[in-house]
């Protein structure tokens, strides 16, 4: 049995049921990526896996025991969650926010250790926000803030990381940086990383295990992206006609949306002068 597993979950908010009979196994030491259309229940599943949402029925298992049976500090030592959106306490600095990631490691008497300090500095460095340590979080750009929240989860130094859209707000270079960092945490430190991503091509590049969810909170397919991702599946799940080609850089599936007819260049028409022809006659 993998370290993290969800069995037969019913997930709901008050009256709204998001998923029924939902089961997932997160392979140990994998870089698992979850994709799926808006509102299909990806964040809800991640919250359940992190014990932030109590399933209506079914069970999440962590290291062989029901996650509900652990003390919160015990869960937080094993598993860290980057939520899709969070609000920082007003006026807090970057350094102080990231330091909160150390809470599960602090003991009652010895409050703040050199180890805590080192973990915070390392986490700030990994996401490239070390030089922002003294700035108030409120003053940062969206992308800077996103990397600060990720730092806080990294400072927690858990062997399982659940990241809900870690690349939102980031420019393309920072997206790649964050995904490379996740890949490194998975490959070199043997961590288990679970990330929700919307970019299907990044998902295919980085995932060692892909979980494709569909509307209604069910798993449409899972496994190696190279075998899982087909044009039929993408059209079925996202309603998007597309072609799948090989990523020229990595050989992984590259999803190319079909061009709507209105975006195709019109055939040249004889009765309309081209810009070049008009320039010539003037
Ligand atoms: N706190 C909440 N209270 C009530 N309903 C909620 C709550 N959070 C989410 N929902 C609903 O649950 C469903 C699943 O939401 P969820 O956030 O899990 O989707 P998602 O797959 O993460 O979507 P996105 O790609 O937009 O982030 C949606 O219909 C949403 O409106
Ligand atoms: Mg979400």
Q: Which residues contact 104 (CB under 8 A, 6 or more apart)?
A: 73, 76, 77, 156
The residue whose CA has the least distance to atom 28 of ligand 1 is 39
pLDDT digits (tens, 9 = 90+) for 179-217: 999 999 999 889 999 999 999 999 999 999 999 999 999
pLDDT digits (tens, 9 = 90+) for 83-107: 999 999 999 999 999 999 998 888 7
Top mutation candidate among 20, 37, 42, 196 for ligand 1, by most atoms within 8 Å of CB? 42
Question: Does a structural domain hold residue 38?
Answer: yes
Question: Does a structural domain hold residue 147?
Answer: yes
Q: CA–CA separation, 240 vs 169, rounded Å?
A: 24
Question: Does a structural domain hold residue 279?
Answer: no
Question: Does a structural domain hold residue 132?
Answer: yes
Question: Does a structural domain hold residue 282?
Answer: no
| Ligand 1 neighbourhood includes 168 CB (under 6 angstroms) | no
**Total of domains in the chain:** 1
Looking at residue 142, its pLDDT comes to 94
Neighbours of ion ligand 2 (CB under 5 A): 42-43, 84
Residue pair 160/133 in contact by the 8 Å Cβ criterion = no
| Ligand 1 neighbourhood includes 156 CB (under 6 angstroms) | no
pLDDT classification of 111: cutoffs 50, 70, 90 = confident
The residue whose CA has the least distance to atom 29 of ligand 1 is 39
Ligand 1 centroid from CA 198, angstroms: 15
The residue whose CA has the least distance to atom 12 of ligand 1 is 18
CATH number of the domain within which 229 lies: 3.40.50.300
Q: How many CB atoms lie within 10 A of CB 65?
A: 10
What is the extent of the structural domain holding 117? 4-239
Question: Does a structural domain hold residue 265?
Answer: no
Top mutation candidate among 18, 20, 54, 213 for ligand 1, by most atoms within 8 Å of CB? 18
| Ligand 1 neighbourhood includes 18 CB (under 6 angstroms) | yes
How far from the centroid of its chain's Cα atoms is residue 248's Cα? 24
How much is the average pLDDT of 233-244? 97
Top mutation candidate among 41, 56, 213 for ligand 1, by most atoms within 8 Å of CB? 41
Ligand 1 centroid from CA 39, angstroms: 5
φ/ψ (deg, to 5) at 155: -65, -25
Residue 208's SS3 state is coil
Question: Does a structural domain hold residue 69?
Answer: yes
The residue whose CA has the least distance to atom 7 of ligand 1 is 13
What does pTM read for this prediction? 0.92
Question: Does a structural domain hold residue 247?
Answer: no
């Amino acid at each position: 049995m993998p370290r993290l597993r969800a069995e037969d979950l019913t997930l709901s908010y008050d009256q709204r049921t998001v998923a029924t009979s939902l089961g997932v196994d997160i392979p140990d030491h994998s870089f698992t990526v979850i994709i799926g259309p808006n509102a299909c229940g990806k964040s809800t599943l991640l919250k359940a896996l992190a014990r932030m949402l109590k399933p209506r029925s079914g069970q999440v298992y962590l290291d062989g025991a029901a996650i509900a049976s652990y003390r919160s500090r015990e869960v937080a030592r094993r598993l860290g969650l980057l939520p899709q959106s969070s609000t920082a306490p007003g006026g807090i600095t970057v350094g102080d926010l990231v330091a909160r990631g150390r809470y599960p490691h602090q003991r009652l008497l010895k409050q703040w250790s050199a180890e805590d300090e080192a973990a915070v500095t390392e986490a700030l460095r990994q996401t490239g926000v070390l030089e922002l340590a003294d700035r108030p979080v409120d003053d940062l750009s969206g992308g800077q803030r996103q990397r600060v929240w990720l730092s806080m989860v990294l400072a927690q130094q858990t062997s399982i990381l659940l990241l809900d859209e870690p690349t939102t707000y980031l420019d393309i270079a920072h997206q790649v940086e964050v995904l490379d960092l996740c890949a490194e945490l998975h490959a070199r430190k043997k961590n288990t990383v679970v990330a929700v991503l919307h970019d299907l091509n990044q998902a295919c590049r980085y995932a060692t295990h892909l979980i494709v969810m569909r509307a209604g909170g069910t798993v449409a397919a899972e496994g190696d992206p190279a075998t899982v991702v087909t044009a039929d599946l993408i059209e079925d799940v996202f309603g998007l006609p597309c072609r799948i080609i090989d990523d020229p850089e990595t050989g992984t599936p590259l999803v190319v949306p079909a061009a709507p007819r209105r975006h195709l260049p019109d055939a040249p028409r004889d009765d309309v002068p081209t810009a070049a022809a008009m320039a010539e006659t003037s």
